[in-house]
Amino acid sequence: MPATRRQRVQVRGRHFVLAWTIVFLAATGAVVVRQRAAYQAGHRVDSLQVDRDRLREARADLQSRIAALKSHRVLGPEAAALGLHTPSDSEVVSLRVERAR
């Protein structure tokens, strides 16, 4: 009888080692998959930051161009070409609007 009991223990031991090996490989595989996903996400974040910086630069450029185009120096000659002029003090009319209650 002792021989069969020893065989059972050895079979159980082998299975135990095999089970832990499978658990270790599964955990290692999960870590590798997670790290790969994090690496790809990091690259995506970097590319989005570069895009955001480019958009901010473009926005600043457009805002400065708009401010320049809205200036009196640019609009004055265009308004004069249309027959418009800057009003004198006697031409300015202030309108008073009552608040709605």
pTM (global) more than 0.85? no
Q: What is the mean pLDDT of residues 76-93?
A: 86
Q: For residues 70 and 61, what is the distance between their CA atoms, to the nearest angstrom?
A: 14
Length of the chain (residues): 101
Q: For residues 24 and 73, what is the distance between their CA atoms, to the nearest angstrom?
A: 74
In this prediction, residue 5 has a pLDDT band, given cuts at 50, 70 and 90, of low
In this prediction, residue 98 has a pLDDT band, given cuts at 50, 70 and 90, of confident
State residue 91's pLDDT score: 83
**pLDDT tens per residue, range 31-82:** 999 999 999 999 999 999 999 999 999 999 999 999 999 998 998 899 999 9
Structure token pair of residue 36: 């790969």
Q: For residues 84 and 78, what is the distance between their CA atoms, to the nearest angstrom?
A: 9
Structure token pair of residue 87: 């009003």
Asked whether the beta carbons of 86 and 80 are under 8 A apart, the reply is no
